[in-house]
Amino acid sequence: MDKIRVAMLQIMPTGAMEGNLEKGLEYCRKAHELEADIALFPEMWNCGYRIPEDRETLNALALTKESPFVESYRKLAQELNMAIGITYLEAGEGKKLPRNSVTLFDRRGREVYTYSKVHTCDFGEECRIGQGDDFYVADLDTVKGKVKVGSMICYDREFPESGRMLMLKGAEIVLVPNACPMEQNRLAQLRARAFENMMGIATVNYPQGQPDCNGHSNAFDGIAYSLDGGGSRDTLLLEADGAEGIFLADFPIREMREYRRREVHGNAYRRPKKYKILLAEDVLFPFYRPEARR
């Protein structure tokens, strides 16, 4: 296997869930025509990243994995022989809050994982949704072979621990749904997560025109130094503009694996016994925020 192609669906929501369903299915078909191995949506595609204040309205937007909306993408993944990462506001069980989730279906329509955003933006409207439990990595069966994939969602990227957890669990490519302005500092965070963990990262944003979004979906392959001894290189595979469209990133998976095999980043030289303070739950001045949940 030389390359894995990720189609980043930088598309505008329609304003209605049924419209989002039909538009999303259409763009997955277009991604398949472009020979994508994986099609990925921006954050909470079913509702266009809406988090109403009213609990009843919020719950009405939330879906189960068995809902017709999510099930339609499972069936399409099987039909197209292409993996699909569909994002949605996932209904909570019982009295639990809904969560910001992505379900990845493989090319046979099997659920690979469902990941819910761990680092919620409790300083904003995400204080009204639940938090994810863990980070997951799994083997994704593609027509080109198996690749280990995992996910972060938007604000997760701002915590090095997110990328580190995924690397330690074996992730080779991390799929990142997003809904915020992609500017130089956020791009730098994603570049850093790819560099320090020697893994690929594909981030999909909403286009310019969606509130608080500006496009600029992006992908990094994590190969910081040329395999031929040519020195430092740019890990950026793609940065989109602000327009709506499908943006393709070809991850050189064979080269990425060889780079991981020989380079010094990642896990080989870490000193986990020195990091005990990372598990401390105390939040001291000046970082204390009363609304932050633990």
Which residues are annotated as catalytic?
A: 43, 117, 154
> Distances from the Cα of 244 to the Cαs of 206, 208, 213, in angstroms?
8, 8, 12
HSE-CB at 85 with a 13 A cutoff on CA atoms is: 34
Q: How far apart are CA 191 and CA 182, in angstroms?
A: 12
Chain centroid offset of residue 168 CA: 17
What's the length of the chain?
A: 294
Structure tokens at 75: 């069936």
> Distances from the Cα of 145 to the Cαs of 79, 83, 206, 253, 282, in angstroms?
18, 12, 30, 11, 44
Q: Angle formed by the axes of helices 68-80 and 17-33, to 10°?
A: 10
Q: How many CB atoms lie within 10 A of CB 294?
A: 5
Alpha helical stretches, state H, the chain: 17-33, 55-61, 68-80, 160-168, 184-197, 253-262
Q: How many CB atoms lie within 10 A of CB 11?
A: 22
